Structure 1
Amino acid sequence: MDIDVLGALDVRENGVSVAPTAPKPRQVLALLALHADRVVPVGDLIEELWSGTPPRSARTTLQTYVLQLRELIATALAPAPGADAARPAPRTPKDLLATAPGGYLLTCAGGRSDVRDFEHLTGQGYRAMDAGDFAGASRTLHGALRLWTGDAFADVPAGPQLALEAARLHESRLCALDQRIEADLRLGRHREVLAELTVLTSRHPTHENLHAQFMLALHHCGRRGEALAAYQRLHTTLERDSGMRPSPRLRRLQQSVLTAAGESLPAAAYTPPAARPAAVH
């Protein structure tokens, strides 16, 4: 099975989508797909579908949704026209969507999962950063971020379980983006990242690392006044929204920009902490 959840949900077997259109079966498939090859407890699926207020028929209804998914899988497994009808199918719907003690398990069966690919690539990228291979880190993290086509589960109505997972994946994406920009700055690609950082700091008005990277890129492009203005906007937003000030690390960067005048800042003038998310196992 090939699984995509980093954007619109799509699960394919033999190139045929098995994603239902009905909202609740779609939620079931999304949670199973995210945790492919792992048992998802019945309780988690019920919590996702009914948010703590399940009907008495919850388990029976969940079984019905699983049967609907298996019917879609059966269609995808059906032999193509002209194929040898006597040849036994190598897999059955119950092989791919199995009932397990306490829950259900969707088997990837040698297919690909965009979440797993993302986590593999980001792990490689972070190791490259730690080793000082900024070109390798930039290249690998670019590849990881290209796997995203939108917000995770973009077309799935999210209950509490999927909402939590979507938030976790969003943070993982933001961390990978932060580290990829850091790698590009270390490579001197200040002009290349300016437009991207303009959008990102507007979209994340209290994100210190992104603002620090924006300030560095602006300063190295000879736009010192705009770099200081970016700091002031962050300071104002933090104070207004949370009563906080920028961190000492960012205040030191502001002082470096003030005193450096037309000089370049060292590549490590601001190095964001690498808050890297744990992988889903």
Structure 2
Amino acid sequence: MQVLLATLLVQRNRVVSAERIIEEIWGESPPRRATAALHVYISQLRKLLAVADGGTHPVVTRAPGYLMQLHGEETDVEFFSGLLSRGRACMAVGNHQEASERFEAALGLWRGPVLSGLREGPIVNGFAAWAEELRLECVELLVEVNFMLGRHRELVSFLQSVVSEHPLHETFYRQLMLALYRCNRRAEALEIYQRARNTLKAELGLEPCRALHDMHSAILTSDDRLEAGQPVAF
């Protein structure tokens, strides 16, 4: 029933066919009486989400399946998206402090992997992947705006943790290299490049991307563009 609830919430206010829900719950090998079992799950979900007398139940039967009908209620992911959008807007007009606060508030909503343990089906899995991409974007933007606020020292330990969590995400390596360089730790910054290169070659058979390579070259030459207080784009 958890997968059913997650599927309907992910597709809120949109009809999800019974066929797609069955695939989401049981994959490619549904039980012989999957349709009957789905009816039982729907009945149990309606009892779980009981509403006051006269209220409209959010779980609605509508051909060719069901939908979760929600009006006005805002989910965590919508709060997150709103904070991320407002942070981007603040960043665009140079309001870096408020942008940083918005991004931090957005990331503060996370309590671990999205819908962990419920990701076998294409609907929930696709939503979880999309939400994770948004989270990574928010982390990248938080780091960039904190660079603009001169917080490179505070970013070092944060980025070391993020790089360990996402060893194939090249942007985080680049940001960590910059933070270390601005802390006068150039040798460590160059070591991070070698670590990234070794990891990418071992895991994917790839060389670092152009932006990461350019950061490496800029550190080697002490490029003026790396100085604190200005944006760095490679």
Q: 1:190 aligns with which of 141, 152, 173?
A: 152
Structure 2 equivalent of residue 116 of structure 1:
78
The residue type equivalent to 2:218 in the other structure is S
Query: Structure 1: where are the runs of 5+ without partners?
Result: 1-24, 79-88, 272-281
Q: Distance in 1 between matches of 2:133 and 2:119?
A: 20
Q: What displacement does 1:257 show?
A: 1.0
Tell whether the 8 Å contact from 1:231 to 1:254 is kept in structure 2 after alignment. Answer: yes
Structure 1 equivalent of residue 55 of structure 2:
91
Q: 1:155 to 1:114 in 2, by over 3 A?
A: same
Q: CA RMSD in A?
A: 2.2
Q: Distance in 1 between matches of 2:64 and 2:86?
A: 35
Q: Which has the higher helix share?
A: 2
The residue type equivalent to 2:149 in the other structure is L
Tell whether the 8 Å contact from 1:224 to 1:261 is kept in structure 2 after alignment. Answer: no
Any runs of at least 4 consecutive aligned residues in structure 1 with deviations exceeding 6 A, and if so which?
none
The residue type equivalent to 1:129 in the other structure is M
Q: Distance in 2 between matches of 1:155 and 1:249?
A: 35
SS in 2 for 1:65: helix
Structure 1 equivalent of residue 37 of structure 2:
61
Q: Distance in 1 between matches of 2:120 and 2:29?
A: 15
- TM-score, scaled to structure 2: 0.90
Structure 2 equivalent of residue 44 of structure 1:
20
> Number of residues paired by the alignment?
233
Query: Structure 2: where are the runs of 5+ without partners?
Result: none
Tell whether the 8 Å contact from 1:212 to 1:250 is kept in structure 2 after alignment. Answer: yes
2:215 maps to 1:253? yes
Residues 57-206 of structure 1 correspond to what in structure 2 (within 5 A)? 57-74=33-50, 77=51, 89-92=53-56, 95-154=57-116, 156=118, 158-206=120-168
Q: Distance in 2 between matches of 1:173 and 1:129?
A: 17
Q: Distance in 2 between matches of 1:270 and 1:138?
A: 19
Structure 1 equivalent of residue 8 of structure 2:
32
2:187 maps to 1:225? yes
Q: Distance in 2 between matches of 1:263 and 1:120?
A: 32
- TM-score, scaled to structure 1: 0.76
Q: 2:231 aligns with which of 251, 263, 268?
A: 268
Question: Identity rate of aligned residues, in percent?
Answer: 36
Structure 2 equivalent of residue 234 of structure 1:
196
Q: Distance in 2 between matches of 1:207 and 1:245?
A: 13
Q: What displacement does 1:262 show?
A: 10
SS in 2 for 1:245: coil
Q: 1:191 to 1:185 in 2, by over 3 A?
A: same
Q: What displacement does 1:190 show?
A: 0.6
Q: What displacement does 1:216 show?
A: 0.8
